[in-house]
Amino acid sequence: MKEDIFKKRRDSFVKKLSILSDGKPILSLLNSHKEPALGRFFSNTNFYYFTGLDIPDATLILDVDGKKNSESLFLPPPNPLKARWYGEEFSSGSLDKSGKADSVRNKTMKGTGFKNIFPNYDISEYLKRVLPSKDSILIDPYADEDIKELNAKILKSYPFLKAISGREAISSLRKSKDDFEIEKIKSAIDVAIEAEYAIMHFLKPDMFEYEIEAIVNYIFLKNNSRESFPSIIGSGKNSTILHYNKNDKKIDANDMVVCDIGARKDYYCSDLTRSFPANGVFSKKQLKLYEVVLEASEIAIKNVKTGVSIFELNQLLKEFYEKKGLNDFNFHGVSHHLGLDVHEEGSIEERLLENSVITIEPGLYNQKENIGIRIEDDVLVKNDGAEVLSKDLIKDPAQIEKQMAKRGKRVII
Ligand SMILES: [Mn+2]
C-alpha cells in the first residue's frame, strides 16, 4: 500500500532523530505550507516526502522521546464553503458524542495512514503539553514564514530547547531513493523525453524560442505534468547563457539550440538537456564541440557509482577538457541530485549513496562563436555503476540528424 511507503520513511526519520538528539527527547514539526491566495498549492517537499499529502496547512509532528514515539497529523477542520470552491480534501473531522472518530476523521485516517489525526486549532495545546519534556526541536529548512515564526516563539518560550537543523538528516534520507520514487522519477523522465523528441520534430529556423517552449509545455500538460523549472530554450548566443529562460529570440538557421527542460509529474522531477542544430545538420564547428561534450558525458557516466563524489566527477572532466585545450569553455559542475526538488540538497564533496538519482550534464560554451552545447541525462547510482534512466533519448549526433531529417511540417499540434 502507498501509505506504507510513507510510514516506512517516517520510521527511518524517527531513527535519525534519535541519533541526532543523542537519544534525548526531540520534537520534529513539518508543515505543508500555506495555501497561496491565488494560484496552485504546492506542498513543502520535506512534508510531502514523509506523508505523500498535498494538503495546505497540514502539520506532521513526530514526538521522539526515547521510549514511546508518536506521530500526529494536524489538519484543517472540515470547511464546506472551501470545499465548494476547491473541492473536498482530507480534513481533521472530529469526535462524535461518544468520543469516537466521526466519519470524516475515519476517512482521513484510512486515506492517510495516520492513526492520530487532530484539527489544527489543537496544535498550540499539544505543544504546551509535550514541549516541556523535550530536549530539542528539529528545524525544517523548508519551513515557510509562519512556521519560522512559530519555531522562534517556541524557542523563546522554552529557552532550554536546542534547535537542530533538519537539513542534513532529511536530505540524507531523501538522497537515497526507494523503488516507488525511482518509478515516479522514471515517469517524469519519460515525459521530458517525449518533449525532446517533439522538439526534434518541430524545430526549424525562423521559429521563436518560445514556440519551442510552447511545444514542451503542451507535451508536459498532455501527460498531466508541469515544468519542474522554467524551460531553457537558448539559441545562438543564448545557448551559451547557462540559465537563460527569456526564450524570446528568433532562431537562426546556423544556431545551436540548447533545450534544458524538466517535467514534474506526481511531485517528482526530471531534468534533461539536448542541444540541436536549428537547421537539422551540425556544422563542422558545432560538431567538433558536440563530440567533446558527448565524450565527457560518457566518461562521467562510466565513472558514476556508489562512493564516488560529484567533486571527483568534476575533476575528471576538468582534466579531460584541459587535455583538449577546452577547459576555458567549461562553466559549471557536471551533476546535482534530483527528486522531489529539481536541485536536491547535497554537497559535491560527499560520497554518492546507492540509489541516488543525479544528473550528468557536461557542457561547453564558446561565447566567441555563440556555440553552446549541453547534454544532460538522469542516472541512478548503483554499487557497480550508473543506470541511465534517460537512455531512450538519443544523443549521438548522427542519430539526431537522422531524427531531425524526419521533421514534420510546422503545424499546430
Ligand atoms: Mn540540471
Question: Rounded CA gap, 273 and 375, in Å?
Answer: 5
How confident is the model at residue 408, as a pLDDT? 73
Task: Please give the distance, rounded to the nearest whole angstrom, from the Cα atom of residue 194 to the centre of ligand 1.
Answer: 17
d(CA 29, CA 150): 10
Which residues surround the ion ligand 1 when the cut-off is CB under 5 Å? 271, 359
Q: At 103, which amino acid appears?
A: S
Find residue 61's DSSP bridge partners.
29, 72
pLDDT at residue 413, as a whole number: 52
Tell me the CA–centroid distance for residue 358 and ligand 1, in Å: 9
Beta bridge partners, 72, equal 61
Q: Quote the ligand 1 centre to 333 CA distance (angstroms).
A: 10
Q: What kind and span of H or E run contains 363?
A: strand 363-366
Say what the pLDDT of residue 87 is.
78
How many angstroms separate the alpha carbon of residue 192 from the centre of ligand 1?
13
CATH topology of domain 2-175: Creatine Amidinohydrolase; Chain A, domain 1 (3.40.350)
299 C-alpha to ligand 1 centroid (Å): 18
Q: Burial-class residue 319 by CB neighbours within 10 Å (0-12, 13-18, 19+).
A: exposed
pLDDT computed for residue 66 by the predictor: 76
**Residues near 28 by beta carbon (within 8 Å), at least 6 away in sequence:** 13, 17, 60, 61, 62, 64, 137, 138, 140, 166
d(CA 48, ligand 1 centre) in Å? 22
Which pLDDT belongs to residue 37? 84
Cβ-in-10-Å burial (0-12, 13-18, 19+) of 324 comes to middle
> Cα(361) to centroid of ligand 1, in Å?
7
Q: How far is the CA of 5 from the centre of ligand 1 (A)?
A: 27
What are the sequence ranges of the domains in the chain? Answer: 2-175, 179-405
Distance CA 221, CA 214 (A): 10
| Low-confidence residues in the chain, pLDDT < 70 | 409-413
Distance 283 CA to ligand 1 centre (A): 26
**Cα(272) to centroid(ligand 1), Å:** 7
Report pLDDT for 6.
Answer: 96
Provide CATH code, domain 179-405: 3.90.230.10
